[in-house]
Amino acid sequence: MSNAAVTAAASSRAAAAGKSALTRLGEAFVGRLVIIIPYLWLVFFFLIPFVIVFKISLSQTAIAIPPYTPVLGFGDGLSGFFAQLKQLSMDNYTWLTQDALYVNAYVTSVIVAAISTVLTLLVGYPIAYGMARAPATLRPILLMLVILPFWTSFLIRVYAWIGILKPEGLLNQLLLATGVISQPLIILNTYTAIFIGIVYSYLPFMVLPLYSALEKMDYSLIEAAKDLGCPPTSAFWKITFPLSLPGVIAGCLLVFIPAVGEFVIPDLLGGSQTLMIGKTLWNEFFANRDWPVSSAVAVILLLLLIVPIMLFQRAQARAQEQDR
């Protein structure tokens, strides 16, 4: 074969390859479009707002509109922009570490959220188990009942708990009338009230993933365990519980993550005696009008929650792999 022929063949091959690569690129683009849309959503409604909040957290508070400085802009040209950029600092973050209030609020929030999550699991597991073992005809109704509270506003439902928990509320009246107690219990404006509020509000988020894990479990596995000499309680811990673990993890994270930053429940039920980061942030923002510090609080909270969120993602991915 002559040199010319080799080159020609090579170039035609290259052309063919190039063309197919181009069409492949086009196909890939159409395929990716479906994924691009949610990504765009995240960029516009999560990433950009986050960048704005982060920028504010690096600013200084000021009596102005907006109440911080510098306000980045190109009014003074590019050099002016860089000059403004130089004014940004980490001062607010150092402030957060210096005032024990913030550290306490973070730690308390994580502890309150963790205890609430465990309580929700303890309440939710039997409910989910009962639902999964209920006759198949009854299950949709039970599922409906779990979701039913969502039909009423979350705020109103939390308000309703004030009526139940306050010293002269329904619970105390009932306990006093039946003679269980002689003095009204002080529940409202304590951490107990926050636990009750979180367990009540987030129960469906615990029950639903647990239910879906327990419902698809084959009951003959329990029979097989019993058949092999395993008493019912032991069968629960050796078979049922390990198999429901993906549901347990999902449920716990779905409760824990929002509970850490919860504002409404501590504000309405916890009163002024309790300290949680959601409320601190609110006060900083609306009472103090200190946007930069409250932005710093929000950024730290987000960083704190990224760990459990990543754990949740990992657990989800693993559960999906198991299903396959």
Cite the beta strand spans of the chain per DSSP E: 60-61, 68-69
From CA 8, how far away is CA 17, in angstroms rounded? 14
Nearest distance from C-beta of residue 218 to another protein, angstroms: 6
* Bond before 184 cis per omega within 30 degrees: no
C-beta of 142 vs 243, nearer to another protein: 243
C-beta of 162 vs 243, nearer to another protein: 243
Nearest distance from C-beta of residue 108 to another protein, angstroms: 36
From CA 305, how far away is CA 247, in angstroms rounded? 20
Burial of 297 from C-beta contacts in 10 A (0-12 / 13-18 / 19+):
buried
Nearest distance from C-beta of residue 239 to another protein, angstroms: 6
Nearest distance from C-beta of residue 244 to another protein, angstroms: 10
Phi, psi of 68 (to 5 degrees): -155, 165
C-beta of 3 vs 220, nearer to another protein: 220
C-beta of 225 vs 259, nearer to another protein: 225
CA dist 171 → 96, 157, 162, 165 (Å): 40, 16, 10, 6
- Angle 139-147/100-133 helices, nearest 10 degrees? 160
Instruction: Retrieve residue 198's tokens.
Output: 């979180």
Q: What is the 3-state secondary structure (H, E, C) of 43-57?
A: HHHHHHHHHHHHHHH
Nearest distance from C-beta of residue 207 to another protein, angstroms: 22
Nearest distance from C-beta of residue 124 to another protein, angstroms: 21
Question: What residues make contact with another protein under the rule CB under 8 A?
Answer: 218, 220-221, 223-231, 234, 238-239, 242-243, 322
DSSP string, 208-260: HHHHHHHHTS-THHHHHHHHTT--HHHHIIIIIHHHHHHHHHHHHHHHHHHHH
Neighbours of 193 (CB within 10 A): 24
C-beta of 174 vs 221, nearer to another protein: 221
Nearest distance from C-beta of residue 133 to another protein, angstroms: 15
From CA 140, how far away is CA 211, in angstroms rounded? 12
C-beta of 163 vs 242, nearer to another protein: 242
The answer for 289, left when phi > 0, alpha when psi is -120 to 50, beta otherwise, is left
C-beta of 58 vs 250, nearer to another protein: 250
Nearest distance from C-beta of residue 130 to another protein, angstroms: 20
Q: Which of 224, 262, 221 lies closest to 241 in space, CA to CA?
A: 221
C-beta of 168 vs 227, nearer to another protein: 227
